[in-house]
Amino acid sequence: MFLSRLTPKRLVRESRGIYARAGSRLSEIRLFAYLSVLGPGLIAANAGNDASGIATYSSAGAAYGYSLLWAFIPMTIGLIVVQEMCVRMGVVTGQGLADLIREQFGVRWTAFVMLALLIANTGVIISEFVGIAQASELFGVPRFITLPLAAGFIWWLVVKGSQKRVERVFLAMSLVFFTYILSAFLAKPSWTEAAKGFVEPTFSVDTVYLFTVMALIGTTITPFMQVFVQSAVVEKGMDVDDLPIARADVIFGTVFACAIAAFIVIATAATLHSQGVYEVDSAGTAARSLAPIAGEYAKYLFAIGLFGAAMLAMGVLPLTTAYSISEALGFEKGLSRSFREAPIFLGVFSILIVVGCLVALLPGIPQIKLLLFTQCVNGLLLPIILGAVVMLANNSEIMGRHKNTLFFNIVAWTITAVVSTLSLMLIAKTIADMF
């Protein structure tokens, strides 16, 4: 009866309605599929904006104003290229970076890389706890209360949670970075001068200037980010079909993280540099210095950002170390595993959380010396990690048709050479300053 009443025109209209509803439903399914894949690239990039990173960006803005903003353009491109190779290796091989290094380069190189990563990450983890302490003390809460609570929360989240829950909480923590955008606007910067800083590169042979540029690059592209993002996409169960979305995740995450870092530079350039405050020894100092110039709100927004950033990195760094050691030694790993199933993975994570918390509770921790030391270790490790990543991504035996193209290889090797040279120069400058 219903079909008999359908005229040709009505039949066309009904058909179009069915297709429209089906298309809308398909678009919703695709959107949820995209959102389910997003995460590792965004988390890895944001974890790079940790307490030491915020201190470095604040120092750059205080010392040189807007003139170093141009450096974020090549740094963003370089980080996208490096992270994309790691994501591509993860989805194609189904193995973490430490797994592939052990299989392709042998146990000795793997042991050296893992030892260096363990030392560097332990130092940075301690600095993250110090950053949490500084942020809480800006609100009048003593570190003896904040640090055990923060450590307990992150430990409980990872040990008792699942991969999806951990990722969602880490993504939620990333929202706190929007406070730096608000801080920058409260600082009332000269947006014309900021725009000029992006498009008009300035160069100087001054030692401190070169050191600051090297520190910016070393803070933005760090070894733990490559290890984490590859292990995360493997544990997420992503495959080659997810590669386009995984790439989008890397690009979006990197652009977002580098934009936040640029806003930190803009905020401190508009306040500290303009008032003649050219030196910042920590992110906490930068937050306190904003108050007399941009007001208490700017100080507290900066402190909230510092707290959230340190919490995120304090979770990601021990996980990265646990992933790499478990992969290198061939032990079971995974956020959905219990202590009985993955004792080494969760044991390493737990020990690093406890050590970081206890050391940060000690009075008079020399944070700057600790960061300089970890910078040296990371600077030594970065050329090795980047070289291994490029060689592995160009290996046709493990990558097949997804290996690097000739053009991509030229770009990747250029980035590796430049970043490695600057890292080694940073080590030399740091050691020279020590003596």
Would you call 136 exposed, middle or buried from its count of C-beta atoms within 10 A (0-12, 13-18, 19+)? buried
Comparing C-alpha atoms, which of 52, 24, 343 is closest to residue 224?
52
Residues 332 and 375 in one domain: yes
Same domain, 152 and 13: no
| Rounded Cα–Cα distance for residues 26 and 217 (Å) | 42
215/292 same-domain check: yes
Check whether residue 285 and residue 356 sit in a common domain: yes
| Residue 5, H or E segment | none
5 and 148 co-located in one domain: no
- Compute CA distances 422 → 27, 313, 419, 429, whole Å: 46, 24, 5, 10
pLDDT of residue 375: 66
Same domain, 323 and 384: yes
Residue 326 · residue 341 · CB < 8 Å: no
In one-letter notation, the amino acid at residue 165 is R
Angle, alpha carbons 428-429-434 (nearest 5°): 100
Residue of 313, 55, 304, 47 whose CA lies nearest to 180? 304
Residues 148 and 13 in one domain: no
pTM equals 0.84
Question: CATH number of the domain that 419 lies in?
Answer: 1.20.1740.10
268 and 417 in a common domain:
yes
* Distance (Å, whole) CA 242 – CA 38: 10
Query: Do 407 and 424 belong together in one domain?
Result: yes
pLDDT tens digits for the chain (435 residues)?
444 454 544 544 555 555 455 444 544 444 444 445 567 888 888 888 888 888 888 888 988 999 999 999 999 999 999 999 999 999 999 998 989 999 898 888 888 888 888 888 888 888 889 888 888 888 889 989 999 999 999 999 988 878 788 888 888 888 888 888 888 888 888 999 999 999 988 877 777 787 788 778 877 888 888 889 999 898 888 888 888 999 999 999 999 999 999 999 998 898 888 777 667 766 676 776 666 666 677 778 888 888 888 899 888 989 999 998 988 888 888 888 888 888 999 999 999 999 999 988 887 766 656 665 666 677 778 888 889 999 999 999 999 999 999 988 999 999 888 888 877 777 777 677 666
d(CA 166, CA 232): 11
- Yes or no: say if 225 and 381 are a contact pair by the CB < 8 Å rule: no
The pLDDT of residue 1 is 45
Q: Are residues 148 and 22 both part of a single domain?
A: no
Dihedral of CA atoms 387, 389, 393, 394 in degrees, nearest 10, equals 10
139 plus 23 within the same structural domain: no
CA nearest neighbour of 326 among 51, 71, 133, 97: 97
Q: How many independent structural domains does the chain possess?
A: 2
Range of the domain at 45: 38-434
Pair 295, 177 in one domain: yes
CB atoms within 10 A of CB 191: 13
